[in-house]
Structure 1
Amino acid sequence: MKTILIFGAGWLGNAVVDTLVSSKRKIIVATRSQVLQKSNPAIEYRKISFHAQSGAIEFEVPMTQKVDEVLVMLPPSKMVNYAHTIESICKQFSSVDHFIFTSSTGVYQEHSGWVYEDSALKKGHSVVLAEEQIGRNFQKKATILRLAGLIGNNRHPVRYFLEKKINLNGNTPVNLIHRKDIINALTILLENPRPGIFNLCYPAHPTKSEYYSEIARELFQTQLEFDLQGSGKMINGSKFASTFKYEYQFDIHDLDNLDKVNKDNK
C-alpha cells in the first residue's frame, strides 16, 4: 500500500482527503490545526509548525514512515518565507516517487490574450520561487498544477463583487476552476504520474461584467454595476486535458455546481 503525505487541510485539502480515502492508500495529513484523530484508520493526522524565522516545516513528532507521494496544497498567505517552507518539505522528503504541488495562475505576468504553461512569470513572486525550489529538487518526479480561481461548495468570487457599488475592469476575462475538477485532476495524476507543469482552468472566459452579473442575478436577484474597462489574460488549460484525455466537467455557469453560495458565508 502506498503512503501519501498531504500538506494543507483547508477548503481544498479536506475535500481531496475525503476523496482519496477510497484509493487504497495510507493517508497522512500534516496540519497546523489541533490534531483530532478521526475514526477512519486510513487517515493519520500529524501536527506541524513553521519555524518562526526561516519558515521551515517542523513536525511535532518526527516522521519515521516511508512516504511514497507528497501532495502540497499550502497557500502562501501568512507564511514567513513561503519558498523556504516548500524547500524544507522537498529536502525532508527527497526520496518520494512523486511530488505534486498546487500552484496558482497568479504566477503569470499581466498579459492580454492566451496564457500557456511557458508564458512569462512574475520574477520574485513567492509562488514562482517555490516552484523553482521544486524544480531543483524534483526534476523528473514533480507535477505542478497552476490553478485558476477556485469555485465550489460555498466559495465563489461573486460575493466580493456584491460588496462594491462600482466594480472595475468589467471587460477583463474570468479564469475559474471548480474544486471537483481539481480533485479529478489530482486523482488522475496519482494513478498516472506525469512530471511537468499544467494549468487547470475551465475553458470558458466570459468577461467579468457578463459572468458575475449573470451569477448575481441568478443567485441573489441583484444587479451588479461594472465599468467596461480593462483587458487581461485567458488561462489555457488544454495541456492537461489533451495529455490525460480529460474533459472539464463542472461548468462555471451551471448553478447546480455553485451549491451553498450565499451572502452570509464569507
Structure 2
Amino acid sequence: MMSTEPHVEPSVAIMGLGWLGEPLAKTLQARGYRVVGTTTSEAKAGRLRREGIDALMWDINEPLPQAWPATLVAQTLVLCVPPGKVDDYAVTLGRVAMLAANAGVQRLLFTSATSVYGGLGSKTEADAAPDSTRGERMLAAEQAVHHSGIPQVLCLRLSGLVGGNREPGRFLAGRRFAGGGEPVNLVAQEDLLCFIPAILARHDWPEVLNVSAPHHPSRHEFYTRAALLRDLPPPQFDGGGEGKSIDGSALSRWLGLDYRVTDWFAWLAARKARD
C-alpha cells in the first residue's frame, strides 16, 4: 500500500560553521538535507551564503533572544561550539538548547570532548570522571543539554581533532613537553564527516559515544613523525607517562562502520603526499 504521509525533507541546523561545521554542512547538503547554520562573522556568513549554505550571523556570547530564530528551525540541531569561544559554557549551551526545544527541535547532537575522562588507562563511555577544569566544564555542558527538553540528545565525545587545516606537525614542533610515552587520542576530520551523517540517519540514539581512532601511538612517536614530515623541528619530551587511551569502538559497532584512519603514521604520510 502506498503511504499517504507527506514527505518531510530532513533538516539540520548547525551552530558553529567552523572547522567541522562548515564541511559537515556541505556533506549533508550533498546528501539531500536542508541545512542552515550560524557563524560569529557577518563576512563569513556572506561567503557561506554565496557558496549555497544558508548562514546566519549569531554570537551566543551576546544576550540571547527570547525565541529561537525562525531561520534555524530544523528537526535536528548540531552544536559545534568549542568551550574556548563561549562565556559560561554550560549555562549558555543549556539556554540555547532550551530555546531550540521550545521551537520544536527534536534531536540535538553535541560535539563534546574526551576531556571528561580523567585518570589513566582505557576509557569507555561509562568512565566520565574529569580531573581538569576543562573536563568539568564539558561534562556540565553535556548535562545541561541533556536536560534542555529536546527529546533526543547524543553527546559525541571527540578526541583531538586533526585533518583539514589542523596540521598536527605544527602542534608541538620545536617545543619541550612531559609525557612523551602517553598515547595519543585523535580523530580525523574525514572520519567525522563519515560518522555524523550515519548517526543522523539513525533514530535509536544512545546518550553518549566516544569518537577516537583505534591507533594510539605515543606522543613522542606521533608528533616527532608529524613534525619531521613537515620539515619542522621535532618536539622534545621529558619522561614517559602512562596516560589514558580513549576507546571509540562502541560507535563503530553501533553504526557498523569502521574508522577510515587505523594507522596514524600511514595517514601522516598520505597527507604529506597529497600536498
TM-score by length of 2: 0.84
**Would you say 1:98 and 2:107 are equivalent positions?**
yes
Q: Could you tell me whether the CA contact under 8 Å between 2:11 and 2:35 is conserved in 1? A: yes
**Would you say 1:12 and 2:20 are equivalent positions?**
yes
Could you tell me which residue of structure 2 aligns to residue 74 of structure 1?
A: 81
Range moving further from structure 2, 187-196 or 141-150: 187-196
Distance 1:142 1:260, change over 3 A: farther
**Would you say 1:171 and 2:181 are equivalent positions?**
yes
How far residue 60 of structure 1 moved from its aligned partner, in angstroms, is 11
1:242 aligned partner, one-letter code? R
Question: CA–CA distance in 2 between the matches of 1:128 and 1:28?
Answer: 27
Could you tell me which residue of structure 1 aligns to residue 214 of structure 2?
A: 203
**Would you say 1:255 and 2:268 are equivalent positions?**
yes
**Would you say 1:144 and 2:155 are equivalent positions?**
yes
Q: Could you tell me whether the CA contact under 8 Å between 1:152 and 1:257 is conserved in 2? A: no
Could you tell me which residue of structure 1 aligns to residue 58 of structure 2?
A: 48
How far residue 241 of structure 1 moved from its aligned partner, in angstroms, is 0.7
Matches within 5 A, 1:147-226: 147-164=158-175, 166-193=176-203, 194-220=205-231, 222-226=233-237
TM-score by length of 1: 0.86
**Would you say 1:228 and 2:239 are equivalent positions?**
yes
Q: Could you tell me whether the CA contact under 8 Å between 1:145 and 1:199 is conserved in 2? A: yes
Aligned residues: 256
Range moving further from structure 2, 143-152 or 76-85: 76-85
Gaps of 5+ in 2: 1-8
**Would you say 1:127 and 2:138 are equivalent positions?**
yes
Gaps of 5+ in 1: none
How far residue 121 of structure 1 moved from its aligned partner, in angstroms, is 2.2
Question: CA–CA distance in 1 between the matches of 2:228 and 2:210?
Answer: 30
Deviations 1:143-162 (A, max 9, x none): 11100001102313331321
Could you tell me which residue of structure 1 aligns to residue 5 of structure 2?
A: none
Could you tell me which residue of structure 2 aligns to residue 116 of structure 1?
A: 124
Off by >3 Å, runs of 4+ in structure 1: 56-62, 221-224, 256-262
Identity %: 26
Range moving further from structure 2, 121-130 or 169-178: 121-130
Distance 1:258 1:247, change over 3 A: same
Partner of 1:9, secondary structure, is: coil
Q: CA RMSD in A?
A: 2.6
Question: CA–CA distance in 2 between the matches of 1:91 and 1:80?
Answer: 17
How far residue 68 of structure 1 moved from its aligned partner, in angstroms, is 0.7
Distance 1:114 1:190, change over 3 A: same
Partner of 2:55, secondary structure, is: strand
Could you tell me which residue of structure 2 aligns to residue 242 of structure 1?
A: 253
Question: CA–CA distance in 1 between the matches of 2:14 and 2:232?
Answer: 40
Range moving further from structure 2, 216-225 or 15-24: 216-225
Question: CA–CA distance in 1 between the matches of 2:190 and 2:71?
Answer: 32
How far residue 62 of structure 1 moved from its aligned partner, in angstroms, is 3.5
Instruction: Identify the structure with the greater helix proportion.
Output: 2
Could you tell me which residue of structure 2 aligns to residue 33 of structure 1?
A: 41
